[in-house]
Chain A
Amino acid sequence: MTRAAAIEKALSYFDDGGYLAELGPRIAIPTESQNPDRLPVLRDYLEQEMIPAFEAMGHDCQVFENPDSSGGPVLLASRIEDPSYPTVLGYGHGDVIRGQKGRWKNDRDPWTIEQDGDRIYGRGTADNKGQHILNMAAMRHVLETRGSLGFNSKFMIEMGEENGSAGLHQIVSENPNAFAADVFIASDGPRISPDTPTIFLGARGAKNFDLVVDLREGGHHSGNWGGLLANPGIILAQALTTIVGPTGELLVKELLPPPISNSVREALSGITIDAGENGPEIDPDWGAPGLTSAERVYAWNIFEILTLTTGNPGNPVNAVPPRARAHCQFRFVAGTNSEEALDILRRHLDDHGFDQVKIEPPPSGNAINFKATRTPLDDPWAVWVKGAIERTKGSPPALLPSLGGSICNDIFTDILGLPSIWIPHSYGACSQHAPNEHILLSEFRDAIEVMTGVYWDLGEDGTPS
């Protein structure tokens, strides 16, 4: 009954195909939370897969119905061994973005896992089914090896993260005791490189919205009317160029964060971003000038055009189009005045003569609105998790103040008041929100080692009190 034995067992399970055998049937459930038709499927994932798995690990399962009719149910699985033990809240999301079937290479089915060398393809392999399934397996091997966990486990599985975690804030706010814990430890997002274990302590926030120029009913013949009727596509393009520069710099000063602190700058100083094999090539001249790549992603704000449409792109006609719409995103770090972001943008547009550009809510299928959060770099739990990973791997993990992406971390930090420690298992080029989503077997093998060690140590003495 040792730490090494638990890790050994977990690795055998992984190498003998146990992990893929658990992953396959769960990927096969098409839990697209942005697709209203899939609402019943979200419940299936909990009832058919999660609840039996947690019950087998001695967890009591409670399902919270979602107060938001567009959101799926939320599972809380709890195993309380002793009130004096530390309680760890885990988290995963069982929903995925749209499958985008038909757009995958080799016509792969997003709902069937398929191995190609080191890669395992399938929607949700990286984001997030593969990650919480791995953590559950690591915890199970600790339980089986030690006979108990040695800590109290609460594990939440939500089914709406890709659609902005609808209803989750309300569920947790209304049931603070059910979700109460001492620390939050969970997995989502990418490592900074596939072979570098990584911790991040918060997440950038994100707010999606649309900018719309709607000038009139219908298109008008560009020969008869060109030069007389304002073109909404041109106006919208011009308005956007006042918000974001030609090399991606966010130009609206009030939407920028305070200067990067020395401790954050120091934490990021050694970090290079490595997309892994076949990752996209970084454009060194893109983004905020004077910052390193790591600072751009983990410590700064960005404005993206996610989609822009005017006219009829599939079948263009010679007409002045009547309207143009850009679906936009603002990502921001903790410390940004994000509550007022849309008011700031409104003033900015008005000041630049673009009162014709309206700010509208985003389409409901892509309506994310996340707060930015950050647990301090010197938080005792952060230091402790760092040590636990170092005990397993022999060297400390990379420590990021914040994830580049966004998660509902404010539920844990703000509502539950927990230090939040994220240990991601994916990598940058995993195509997680695109066709060809995949994970790397070598990286996940490393991750099960890391997680088994962390869960083992949580049951030992020496955790922060």
Chain B
Amino acid sequence: MSRQAAIERIDSYLSDGGFLDDLARRVAIHTESQEDSQIGELHRYLDDEMEPYLKDLGFNCVKFENPVDGGGPFLIATRHEGDDLQTVLSYGHGDVVRGYDDQWNEGLSPWEIVKEGDRWYGRGTADNKGQHTINIAAMKAVLEERGSLGFNVKILIETGEERGSPGLREFCRAEADKLKADVLVASDGPRLSPARPTIFMGSRGVFNFTMRLNMREGGHHSGNWGGLLANPGVILTHAISSIVSPKGEVLVEGLRPPGPIPNSVRAAITNLEIDGGEGAPEIDPNWGEPGFTAGEKVFGWNTFEVLAFTTGTPNKPVNAVPPTAEAVCHIRFVPPTDPNGFLPAVREHLDANGFSMVELSPDRECLNATRLDPDHPWAKWVVASLEETSGNKIDVLPNLGGSLPNDAFSEILGLPTIWVPHSYASCSQHAPNEHILESVSQNALQIMTGLWWDMGAGNTPR
């Protein structure tokens, strides 16, 4: 009975085909939460797959309806070993984005796993079925080796992450007692580099809004009216250009973080090497906040993007001054930026620069920024465990560049949050040909087994 023996067990799970079997069954369930018609599949994922599997591991499972109409169900699976033991909350989501069945490469299907070299293709392999399958299997290996986990576990599986986690916050607030824990350890998103484990402890927030100009009804002939009628496309390009520089620097004070990057955060991210893996886009070194490293730009600062812009009728252009222009923009932001200040700051900036005719409206729900200090005891403890298993240094991100509903755990449940992602940047997670790398998955199974082993070994932070 040893840590090493548990890791050998999980190696066999992969080599004997156990991981492939478990994941293939789960990928085969069409849990497309963006399609209302697939609500039955969301239930099936919890009823037929998660519950039986977790019950076998001694979990007590309770399914909850979503407090929000149309939202998918939640599952809380609990294994309680002792009142004086640490309690870990883990999380996964069983839903996936749309399959886009006909856009996958020849020979691939979103709903079955196809192996090609190191790649395992299938919808949800990376996001997120593969990741929670790894974590639960690693718990099983520890349980089989040790006879018990040595800690208490609560696993929350939601089925609506890909449509913005409807009801997740209300649910966490309402069931805070059932979800009470000492730490969140969960997996989603990509590693910084496929070759090394990564942990992140929060995520940048995201705030979407639309800038719109509606000058008049209808287009007007540009020969008769050009020079007399204000062109909303021209005005909007100027408005945008006053907010963000030609190199992507955010120019409006209220959209920037309120202070410099904290030293502990800077120390963790400054020298991070960003490696998207094969097929990743080439980084533009002169883009973004001047003087910052790539790591600082993505993990330590706020960015402003134009996601979409339209004026006129691009598909069928005519020679007319267009009547309207619209830009969908967003801000990714790090703590402690307050997103409530964004729209007022943009409004004030536009008014001061003569763009009062530009209308602003917030789009979807804002995801808040969250972050845990890299010096937090739980962060250091997890890093030590993962480094022991993998034998070398790991990447530590105070927060992910992307956005997660992590505030449900960090703010509503008040937990330190540690995420151990098992995917990599070029996994095509929201596109056709989603896949994981077998080599990364093997390493992920090992480090999670080591982590759960250490969690029950009695030397966790208190």
Question: Cβ of A305 and Cβ of B233 under 8 Å apart?
Answer: yes
Are the CB atoms of A329 and B319 closer together than 8 Å?
Answer: yes
Q: Are A286 and B227 in contact (CB under 8 A)?
A: yes
Q: Hey, what's the 0/1 contact readout for B385-425 against A, CB within 8 Å counting as 1?
A: 00000000000000011110000000000000000000001
Q: Which residues of A contact B319 (CB under 8 A)?
A: 206, 208, 306, 329, 366, 368, 433
Distance of A236 Cα from B244 Cα, bound (Å): 12
A456 to chain B, nearest CB (A): 30
Encode B236-259 as 1/0 by CB contact (under 8 A) with A: 111011001111100000000000
Which chain A residue has the least Cβ–Cβ distance from B217? A280
A309 engages B227 (CB within 8 Å): no
Bound complex: CA A331 to CA B203 (Å): 49
Decide if B221 is an interface residue (CB 8 Å cutoff): yes
How many Å from the CB of A215 to the closest CB on chain B?
8
CB of B228 within 8 A of CB of A282, answer yes
User: Given A227-B288, A237-B241, A320 and B402 touching (CB < 8 A)?
Assistant: no
Chain A positions 285-331 with a Cβ under 8 Å from a chain B Cβ: 286-288, 293, 296-297, 300, 302, 304-313, 316-321, 324-327, 329, 331
Selected from B226, B236, B401, the residue in CB contact (under 8 A) with A297 is: B226
| A228-B234 contact given A223-B402, A223-B403, A307-B314, CB 8 Å threshold | no
Cβ A307 vs Cβ B297 within 8 A: no
Q: Is B25 an interface residue (CB 8 A)?
A: no
Q: Given the complex of chains A and B, what is the CA–CA distance between A262 and B318 in angstroms? A: 34
* Interface residues in A, total, Cβ within 8 A: 93
Whether B148 sits at the interface, judged by CB under 8 Å, is no
CA–CA, A389 to B227, complex, Å?
29
Q: How far is the CB of B210 from chain A (nearest CB, A)?
A: 9
Contact status of A296 and B402, CB under 8 A, knowing A97-B318, A222-B305, A309-B314:
no
0/1 string, B292-309, CB within 8 A of A gives 1: 001001100101011111
- CB <8 Å contact, A311 and B307: yes
In contact, B330 and A318 (Cβ under 8 angstroms):
yes
Interface string of A229-248 (1 = CB under 8 A from B): 11101111111110011111
A308 touching B310 in the complex, CB below 8 Å, given contacts A216-B281, A227-B248, A228-B298: yes
CA distance A329 to B231 in the complex (A): 12
Known: A221-B402, A248-B234, A281-B216. A305 touches B281 (CB 8 A): no
A353 at the interface (CB under 8 A from B): yes
Nearest residue in A to B246 (C-beta to C-beta)?
A: A238
Q: How far is the CA of A329 from the CA of B227 in the complex (A)?
A: 12
The answer to whether B241 and A327 have CB atoms under 8 Å apart is no
Q: Does B204 belong to the interface (CB within 8 Å)?
A: yes
A194 sits at the interface (CB 8 A): no
B228 CB contact (under 8 Å) in A215, A273, A305: A273
Among A6-14, A139-147, A400-408, the stretch in contact with B: A400-408
A288 to B226, CA, bound (A): 11
Distance, CA A82 to CA B67, complexed state (A): 91
Smallest CB separation, B329 vs chain A (Å): 9
- Asked whether B69 is an interface residue with its Cβ less than 8 Å from the other chain, the reply is no
Within 8 A of B (CB), among A378-412: 403-406
Task: Evaluate contact between A280 and B216: CB separation under 8 angstroms.
Answer: yes
Residue pair B237, A305 in contact (C-beta under 8 Å): yes
Residues of B within 8 A of A92 (CB): none
Assembly CA distance A431 to B320 (angstroms)? 10
Q: How far is the CB of A216 from chain B (nearest CB, A)?
A: 5
Whether a CB of chain B sits under 8 angstroms from the CB of A24 is no
Q: Which of A229, A307, A311, A363 contacts B308 (CB 8 A)?
A: A311
Q: Tell me, yes or no, whether A90 is within 8 Å of chain B by CB.
A: no
Query: Contact between A226 and B216 (Cβ–Cβ < 8 Å)?
Result: no
**In the complex, A283→B323 CA distance in Å?**
13
Q: Are B227 and A431 in contact (CB under 8 A)?
A: no
Closest to B316 in A: A98
Chain A nearest CB, measured from B103 CB (Å): 12
| B284 within 8 A of partner (CB) | yes
A288-B227 in contact (CB<8A)? yes
Q: In the complex, which residues of chain A have a beta carbon less than 8 angstroms from the beta carbon of B245?
A: 238
Chain A window 76-116, contacts with chain B (Cβ cutoff 8 Å), 1 for yes, 0 for no: 00000000000000000000011010000000000000000
| Contact between B224 and A241, CB atoms less than 8 A apart | no
The chain B residue with its CB closest to the CB of A291 is B227
Our pick among A240, A300, A305 for the contact of B227 (Cβ within 8 Å) is A300
Interface hits, B87-114 → A, CB 8 Å: none
Give Cα distance in the complex from A365 to B430, angstroms.
Answer: 35
Name the residue of chain B whose CB is nearest to the CB of A317.
B307
Determine if B182 is an interface residue (Cβ-Cβ < 8 Å): no
Closest-CB distance, B424 to chain A (whole angstroms): 10
Q: Which residues of B contact A293 (CB under 8 A)?
A: 228
Nearest chain B CB to A182's CB is how many angstroms away? Answer: 28
| Residue B218 CB within 8 A of the other chain | yes
Known: A223-B403, A433-B221. A318 touches B231 (CB 8 A): no
Q: How far is the CB of B308 from chain A (nearest CB, A)?
A: 3
- The CA of A296 and the CA of B229, in the complex, are separated in Å by 11
A221 engages B430 (CB within 8 Å): yes
The interface residues of chain A lying within 8 Å CB-to-CB of B402 are 221-224
Against B, the Cβ 8 Å flags (1 = close, 0 = not) of A209-222 are 00000011110111
A202 at the interface (CB under 8 A from B): no
List chain B residues, Cβ under 8 A from A215. 284
Q: Which residues of B contact A324 (CB under 8 A)?
A: 309
Q: Does B230 contact A (CB under 8 A)?
A: yes
Cα of A288 to Cα of B305 in the assembled complex, Å: 31
B250's nearest neighbour on chain A, judged by CB, is A227
Tell me, rounded to whole Å, the shortest Cβ–Cβ distance linking B281 to chain A.
5
Query: Does A436 count as interface, using CB distance less than 8 angstroms?
Result: yes
**Can you name the residue of chain B whose Cβ is closest to the Cβ of A310?**
B309
Say whether, besides A221-B430, A237-B237, A296-B228, A353 and B246 are in contact (CB < 8 Å): yes
Knowing A228-B298, A404-B223, the reply to whether A431 touches B241 (Cβ < 8 A) is: no
What separation, in Å, do the CA atoms of A235 and B306 have in the docked complex?
10
Contacts of A312 in B (CB 8 A): 308
Query: Cβ of A189: which chain B residues have Cβ within 8 Å of it?
Result: 223-224
Cβ-defined contact, B294 with A228, below 8 A: yes
Q: Is the CB of B235 within 8 A of A246?
A: yes
Report Cα–Cα, A87/B79, bound state, in Å: 101
Residues 261 to 285 of chain B near chain A (Cβ within 8 Å):
274, 276, 281-284
Task: Give every chain B residue within 8 A of A233 (Cβ-Cβ).
Answer: 240, 306, 308-309, 327
Known contacts A222-B307, A223-B402, A304-B321; is A228 also within 8 Å of B297 by CB?
yes
Give the Cβ gap from A377 to chain B, nearest Cβ, in Å.
20
Q: A240-B234, A306-B317 are in contact. List 8 more A-B contacts (CB 8 A).
A: A206-B223, A224-B298, A224-B401, A235-B246, A236-B237, A248-B230, A302-B222, A306-B322
27 contacts between A and B (CB under 8 A): A206-B222, A223-B400, A227-B287, A228-B284, A228-B298, A233-B240, A234-B241, A235-B246, A237-B309, A238-B245, A245-B238, A246-B355, A280-B216, A288-B227, A302-B222, A305-B233, A306-B317, A308-B325, A311-B328, A313-B326, A316-B208, A316-B308, A366-B317, A368-B319, A428-B224, A433-B221, A434-B318
Name A's B-contacting residues (CB within 8 A).
34, 97-98, 100, 189-190, 203-204, 206, 208, 215-218, 220-231, 233-241, 244-248, 273, 280-283, 286-288, 293, 296-297, 300, 302, 304-313, 316-321, 324-327, 329, 331, 353-354, 362-363, 365-366, 368, 403-406, 428, 431-436
Residues of B within 8 A of A (CB): 190, 203-204, 206, 208, 216, 218-231, 233-238, 240-241, 244-248, 274, 276, 281-284, 286-289, 294, 297-298, 301, 303, 305-314, 316-322, 325-328, 330, 332, 354-355, 400-403, 425, 430-431
Nearest first, the 9 closest Cβ-Cβ pairs linking A and B are: A405-B223, A223-B402, A311-B308, A307-B312, A233-B306, A227-B297, A305-B233, A313-B310, A237-B237
